[in-house]
Structure 1
């Protein structure tokens, strides 16, 4: 049978396309490499695909299996025993995302230039970005098209006062629009957030218990630690399941009026969850990015009324009254632009809150307050009562000025604790916090009164001891500002689960002078 010229050309094109695909396909080998949020592809430097395509280390490459495609950073692999010329490796997360099986052929191709990186470069050079430009960046973040290196460049370009009010609003809207948004039957949905910076400031579980016990709806999603020894999700995970699906979260809220879930498990504002992992590695937390992070998740959770706690102190995240007022104004303005009613509470940021620093130790403080134990930390109870009282007043459940009294009453009569247990059980279970196997006391080297505590350096001791990944690790405080101490009194105790981590924390502590300053009376 004869073919026309067009048919012959078409057949030729099909054959050449098949040959091209064979040439650019490699078979998958599972290397069992965990690269967290970043997808990675591993190839031999003498692999024919690397040579013919000019791929180099850290190039961004499209990897395709059937109709699924992802973008991965190239790692050049020299281990001949694990990879042959016709094979490639992928990080575990990339394998899961593609649904690939070892031995399957995967196609490779260059990644076209990303418009989002042009926008990032524009920001690096101090230019303003509009809504469309932020939309492009956030879309590429969620689609995993940007490497951690590129994400770091974006985060660095947003530090300090780099983002003005309009840019923060635009970034917040982009982060809301790209993810899932919860909807509730009730008109008013309440929430609370602390911007962080104070070790041990674990008011959220107490506030949620009080507010839900009062009959309000408070579907709380919280993050894990970014730069601190514990986030609310880390602390709650000590006592219950926080990895809820959206359906599970809605069921718990319908049953109990509130929940305490990890935000990452319900994928609200998914760009934020990716950025948080990179921020944690960089140990930075920029103002504009922080506002967008907090408020995008509140809006995505369906909240309408939010109380935000801003601790102010020389070693807190916000160090002056002027900075706190500036941040408050920007938060209220951004909240208004996205439909949130926000109340700001400025609080004392001169020292840690409660006694425990680290997931289990902070959980013990929370339970002590809710159980009305005699030795419960009074400062933690007072802060939680102030914040819960503000929410009760916003809801019209208490006359202005009486919210704190009503909130304290809900703790005192035990209904807050009952509600907390009910929420934990609705989320799967309740269990008591564990205790570390290793404890190392740190003693006062003089007599006097405590007049200064360095929040940041004390938090670092807790992190070096293993918190938050090791739930029982951290620091237990025996003093607070104004405490009278004698020489050789215990001022705090380091908790750890391994000798290596304990020694790591102690080696840092030995290089630091006066994390806790004591003056003679």
Structure 2
């Protein structure tokens, strides 16, 4: 049998499967029949000196794909970068070494740092399917990682990518564990800390389960998909940046795991700690502030849960050489007005510009976190006054704009074309706002994929409202998404608890 018997012409499918390589073959394809390939089979494709392992999707009808060709998803095409009219060789890949390790973890065995390293290596080489990665993520959830394993996983995630070296300079960083709509403090903190002359190369993620991540929000205003040389130029010149970690190869497995966690709609304490701290260490940070919002509808729901997470963060950070300050904050309701990338960007700019109507809660939280970082940077006891001075004087805004220009230019956020107001159904005092439900409204409106979609919050807990007063406004980029979000909001009367005073 010659090589041609296992070859197919390679075509671009033009299908975005995120970072997961997928190959499409016709059911009557001779390679499928000869090799016994079926839907979801893992297939190795060699083209020249490059290869990729992709998941097979079988085409059973239509005439868009001939039997002598294979179509590659964007991720598979980018991995192989085939020339025009290129042919690929198709075969069964060797079983991944990580498969038996994941199976052992599923059955409750403890893993070593080396075993976690094998999983990271196979994940990066795309030898593991989404089902393999989902099994791994699930096995590590719900207390599935003890502290020793958490340390091993964190080290393995960091070792799988690059680690930046900033010499003997002190590098600061900040992270919020999430679960609180709005609360986009990071860009404000970076602006204040860089204006104070400190180094803070901020590597941010896109949203996992929320309507926006810091990278999603920053991308409304400036490019965030920088490579390491470009990021270094920004930081060396302006002291900081806010960039997306997906293109930097800093703890690169984290983005693969996030892709699995997003449809599962959870991230466990152990994975969260490994994700956050491996990226901080990889970015070269030495001193880090971690914000943990606590509330009945936040990600962390009780003081006991916050204490457990704090203990895990501290134990792992000591082991990998990071100094942490942990801030337990109020997570009982959203922070700011905007929920969704563009709306949160507008809030950030209002605070930086000290504009009338800037959300006071967002400003206060950002100042608190900036104060903690400035204190860690060597000015213990004077951080808050210094942070306020830098914000009120306009120095922080200037620093932020310089960073945006250096990252590729600044764009003013725009508002969605389709909007509808949701009003109070009764009079009284707002005593609670459900974080998860209001976040779901924003996601159903299209956030974060549609940057201008989301929710503009017009009231907070403690406010008095009359029946018919505005509670929030839904923003969407299409009428269909607006109707979808509005219908959900109408079905959730308990999203805002309004009580008459006693």
Residue 92 of structure 1, CA deviation: 2.1
TM-score, with normalisation over the residues of structure 1? 0.94
Is 1:163 the counterpart of 2:145? The answer is yes
Q: What residue in structure 1 maps to residue 261 of structure 2?
A: 279
Match of 2:227 among 245, 251, 261: 245
Give the structure 2 partner of residue 7 of structure 1: none
Deviation at 1:122, TM superposition (A): 1.1
SS in structure 2 at match of 1:451: strand
Residue by residue over 1:449-475, the C-alpha shift from the partner in whole angstroms, topping out at 9 and shown as x without a partner, is: 000110001000001101111111111
- The residue aligned with 2:361 is 379
- Which residue is 2:39 aligned to? 57
Between the aligned partners of 2:74 and 2:465, the Cα distance in structure 1 is 52
2:395 pairs with one of 395, 408, 415: 415
Does 2:373 correspond to 1:388?
no
Indicate which of 459, 466, 473 corresponds to 1:479. 459
CA-CA distance at 1:125 after TM superposition: 1.3
Q: Pick from 32, 35, 46 the counterpart of residue 28 of structure 2.
A: 46
Q: Match of 1:514, SS?
A: helix
What is the alpha-carbon distance in structure 1 between the residues aligned to residue 227 and residue 445 of structure 2?
32
Query: Is residue 97 of structure 2 the alignment partner of residue 110 of structure 1?
Result: no
Q: Is the 8 A contact 1:27 1:102 kept in 2?
A: no
Structure 1 residue 148: deviation in Å? 1.6
Tell me how large the CA RMSD over aligned residues is.
1.2
**Within-5 A mapping of 1:289-438:** 289-397=271-379, 399-400=380-381, 402-438=382-418
Structure 1 equivalent of residue 11 of structure 2: 29
- Per the alignment, residue 506 of structure 1 pairs with 486
8 Å Cα contact 1:28-1:101 kept in structure 2: no
Deviations 1:36-95 (A, max 9, x none): 111112222222222222222111111101221110111111235233332222212212
Query: Is 1:465 matched up with 2:449?
Result: no
How far the C-alpha of 1:184 sits from its partner, in A, is 0.7
Give secondary structure in 1 for the equivalent of 2:378: coil
Unmatched segments (≥5 aa) in structure 2 = none
| Residue aligned with 1:238, SS | helix
Q: Is the 8 A contact 1:142 1:271 kept in 2?
A: yes
TM-score (norm 2): 0.98
Give the secondary-structure state (helix, strand or coil) at the position aligned to 1:160.
coil
Which piece of structure 1 moves more, 324-333 or 277-286? Answer: 277-286
Aligned residues of 1:29 and 1:83 also touching (Cα < 8 A): no
Task: Tell me which residue corresponds to 1:9.
Answer: none
Aligned to 1:192: 174
Alpha-carbon contact 2:97-2:122 (below 8 Å) kept: no
Q: Is 2:476 the counterpart of 1:496?
A: yes
The whole-number CA distance in structure 2 between the counterparts of 1:197 and 1:361 is 17
Equivalent pairs, count: 501
1:281 positional shift: 1.7
CA distances 1:272-294 after superposition (whole Å, capped 9, x unpaired):
01111221122111111111111
Match of 1:4 in 2: none
* Candidates 424, 435, 448, aligned match of 1:455: 435
Contact 2:374-2:383 within 8 A present in 1 as well: yes
State the distance in 1 between where 2:470 and 2:454 align: 16
> Per-residue CA shift, 1:196-249, capped at 9, x if unaligned?
000001000110011101110001111111111111111111111111111111
Instruction: Report how far residue 489 of structure 1 moved.
Output: 0.4
Q: Which residue of 1 aligns with 2:117?
A: 135
1:265 match: 247
Q: Residues 91-134 of structure 1: CA distance to partner in whole angstroms, max 9, x if unpaired?
A: 12212211113532211111222221111111111111111111
Aligned to 2:158: 176
1:264-320 Cα shifts (integer Å, max 9, x gaps): 122211100111122112211111111111111101101011000000000000000
Shift of 1:146: 1.3
Cα distance in 1 between the residues matched to 2:200 and 2:25: 49
More displaced stretch, 444-453 vs 119-128 = 119-128
Greater shift, 315-324 or 425-434, is seen at 425-434
CA contact (8 A) 2:294 2:301 kept: yes
Residue 74 of structure 1: which of 49, 56, 69 is its match?
56
Question: Is 1:101 aligned to residue 83 of structure 2?
Answer: yes
Gaps of 5+ in 1: 1-18
Say which is worse superposed, 192-201 or 153-162, in terms of deviation: 153-162
Query: How far 1:31 moved relative to its partner?
Result: 2.6
Structure-2 separation of matches of 1:282 and 1:102 = 38
Give 3-state SS (helix, strand or coil) of 1:279's partner.
helix
Query: Aligned-pair distance for 1:33?
Result: 2.1
* Greater Rg by CA: 1
Q: Deviations over 1:463-508 (max 9, x none)?
A: 1101111111111111111001111100111011110000110121
Determine helix, strand or coil for the equivalent of 2:2.
Answer: helix
2: CA distance between counterparts of 1:87 and 1:374? 61
